Chains A and B, each alone.
Chain A
Amino acid sequence: MTSDPKTMTCEEFQAYLPELIGSGENAANHPHLKNCELCRALLADLETIAEAARQLLPVAEPPDELWSQIESAIQREKAEPDPA
């Protein structure tokens, strides 16, 4: 990253954003955001998405018959153990 953080264009800032976010630094403190509403909105959205993803719960329920299939497969393996 060679650009001066204070004079970055939006394109430069957004190209740098994956590294900035991945670094664990507080991206919201970046100088470019002081005067750039678009990039502030972008960052806010990305943070909102990441936060929402962290709160997703394992809501999907497997079908009841899946356990029967697993039981059958276990019994088959017991009857014919894998030589490996």
Chain B
Amino acid sequence: MQPPDPDQKSAPNAVAPDPPPGAARPAHPVKFTSTATPNPAEADALARAQAGDHQAFAQLYSLHKRRIYSLCLRMVGNIAEAEDLTQDAFLQLHRKIATFRGDSAFSTWLHRLAINVVLMHLRRKGLSVISLDEAMEPAPDDGPGRSFGATDLTLAGSIDRLALEQAISDLPAGYRLIFVLHDIEGYEHNEIASMLDCSIGNSKSQLHKARLKLRDALHRFPRQEARA
């Protein structure tokens, strides 16, 4: 059985700066949300799902699947893992949905739940530690003077979305994690430091390095396209 297919625009909704359970308080709404107004259909489905209505849970899945899957995919950069993690996130949601009390927006709560699922997965694999440590270590090309003199053009104020998605996907795991959490998902450095168990300074530094790598990749992109 497939869950109902809602209007895409209604999926990323209702975000408020309230803390999900056991999580740091998001300092500002997730950036790609379009409204802070709760979706009445979601509120109804949520209430019914909390009472054990399976159809209502399917509706919540439909409302949030795209956002959660995109989050997982961007964080791990791997389709098969993203599918598994999306499944894990909704299983966790099913287990915990009765504990949601509405102190924060449901989408914020679910979003943070999914991030925790991804981070736990990465820790289990040892990947986050390894990748993050790698990211924390200054690589030979990451020195402060690295960009000095290297600019032969600017991005001219516009970036091809597909090129950016590809460049993000190609980032080393540690950089990607911090970039996704900060620049795409809108978490602040203190929240990221708490999530990843690193210092705020490290979070700032790694975000900067991630952006530098993206800049390089995006500068190369038009030439690669031209050759293709």
**Within 8 Å of chain A (Cβ to Cβ): is B131?**
no
Q: Which of B1, B2, B186 contacts A54 (CB 8 A)?
A: B186
A52 to B54, CA, bound (A): 38
Q: Which of B90, B164, B204 contacts A49 (CB 8 A)?
A: B164
**Within 8 Å of chain A (Cβ to Cβ): is B208?**
yes
Task: Closest A residue to B149 by CB, please name it.
Answer: A38
- In the assembled complex, how far is the CB of residue B79 from the closest CB belonging to chain A, in whole angstroms? 9
Contacts A44-B154, A49-B215, A53-B179 given: A60-B70 contact, CB under 8 Å?
yes
A84 to B147, CA, bound (A): 52
Residues of A within 8 A of B94 (CB): 70, 74, 77
Contacts A45-B215, A49-B214, A58-B12 given: A15-B2 contact, CB under 8 Å?
no
**Within 8 Å of chain A (Cβ to Cβ): is B66?**
yes
**Within 8 Å of chain A (Cβ to Cβ): is B61?**
yes
CB–CB B211/A14 < 8 A: no
**Within 8 Å of chain A (Cβ to Cβ): is B50?**
no
Secondary structure at the B interface, as helix, strand, loop or mixed, is helix
**Within 8 Å of chain B (Cβ to Cβ): is A61?**
yes
Give the contacts of B205-219 with A (CB-CB under 8 A): 205, 207-208, 211-212, 214-215, 218
Contacts A52-B159, A77-B91 given: A62-B149 contact, CB under 8 Å?
no
Number of chain B interface residues as a range? 35 or more
Binary contact readout A16-56 vs B (1 if CB under 8 angstroms, 0 otherwise): 01110110000000000000001001101110111011111
A53 to B191, CA, bound (A): 18
A21 to B205, CA, bound (A): 10
Contacts A14-B144, A49-B214, A50-B211 given: A59-B70 contact, CB under 8 Å?
yes
CB–CB A58/B71 < 8 A: yes
Contacts A17-B208, A73-B91 given: A41-B183 contact, CB under 8 Å?
no
Residues of B within 8 A of A61 (CB): 65-66, 69
CB–CB B58/A67 < 8 A: yes
**Which among B12, B83, B186 has the highest number of chain A CB atoms within 10 Å?**
B83
Q: Beyond A62-B86, A69-B87: 10 further Cβ-contacts under 8 Å?
A: A18-B205, A19-B201, A21-B204, A49-B155, A49-B218, A53-B179, A54-B184, A58-B12, A63-B83, A67-B2
Across the A-B interface, give the 4 residue pairs with the lowest CB-CB distance, nearest first. Answer: A58-B70, A15-B144, A18-B208, A53-B183
